Amino acid sequence: MELIKIQENDKGQKVVSARDLHAYLENTDNVNTWFKRQSERAMLRENIDFQRVAISQTSGQTSFDYALTLQSSKEIAMLNGGEKGKQARLYFIECEKQLIELKPVFQVPTTFKEALLLAVEQQEKIEQLELETKTLEIELDKSHEWITIKKVAYANKIDWQSLEWKKLINVSHATGYLPKKIFDANFPKGVNSYHVSVWKIVYPNLKY
C-alpha cells in the first residue's frame, strides 16, 4: 500500500515530495515554513539530502517543492512525532528494504577493463562518501546546536567523565533528537554530539 508517493529523479534516486509528506503528516503550518524548520532540525543539505524544485502556478508566480531522499524523508517523519510520523517512518524503512532486495546481483568483472572501471567507480563513491562525512563532521563540530560531552565539560571546567551519556541517550530518543557522530582522534568510530535541547533537559544548570 502506497502511503506517500515515491518518485524517481533524473539521477535514478527514489525521492519524496516534501509537499506530499507535509500533507500526509497533516501538519497545519505553511509547507515552506514547516520544511525550513524540519530541514534545519535534521541538518539536511541541499543537493545531497534534498533538491529544490520550482513549480509554476497559473498566477504566474513560482513556488517550490523539495525532492527528499528516502533517508531524509524518514528523518523528518521521525522528528514530526505522533502516530502519523511513526507510520511514515516505518513506511520509508519498508521501501528502503524493498529497494535493497530489488538491486541486481553483483556481477564479477570478466575482463581487465571491466575490473578497472568497477574499481574507479567504487573509489569515486568512497571519496564522495568521505567528503560528505567530513563536511558533516565539520558542520557538527562548529554547530551551536549539537554539542559533545567534551565541549560541555571544557566550557564548564568539569571532568567529562562526570557527565552521564546514558541519560543523554535516553532523552535524545525521547525527544527525537538522535545523537550525531563527529570525528575524534581518540575514538576511531567518532563520538556522539547531542542537541542543545537534550543538554538543557539533562543538565539545565550548565553553560552551552
Q: What is the pLDDT of residues 77-135, one digit of tens each?
A: 888 878 888 888 888 888 888 776 665 555 666 787 777 777 887 787 777 766 655 55
H/E stretch holding 131: helix 112-142
Give the global pTM: 0.48
CB 140 within 8 A of CB 146: yes
Tens of pLDDT along 3-40? 889 888 887 888 999 999 999 999 888 998 999 998 99
Q: Can you give the pLDDT at residue 16?
A: 92
CB 77 within 8 A of CB 89: yes
Residue whose C-alpha cell reads 506517500 in the numeric block: 4
Task: Report domain extents, the chain.
Answer: 6-102, 143-202
Mean pLDDT of 176-200: 79
The rounded mean pLDDT for the chain is 81
Which letter does DSSP use for residue 203 in this model? -
Candidates 97, 93, 94, 73; CA nearest to 24 is 73
Report helix, strand or coil for 96: helix
**Quick one: 16 exposed, middle or buried, by C-beta within 10 A (0-12, 13-18, 19+)?**
buried
Report helix, strand and coil shares of the chain as percent, to nearest 5: 55, 20, 30
Sheet strands side by side (includes 187-195): 146-148, 187-195, 180-184
Q: Can you give the pLDDT at residue 139?
A: 47
Q: Name the more confident of 155 and 140.
A: 155
Q: Can you give the pLDDT at residue 180?
A: 82
Percentage of the residues of the chain whose pLDDT score is greater than 70: 81
Residue whose C-alpha cell reads 558533516 in the numeric block: 136
Q: Over 50: is that where the pLDDT of 52 sits?
A: yes
- CA dist 95 and 99 (Å) reads 6
CB 91 within 8 A of CB 39: no
Mean pLDDT of 46-72: 84
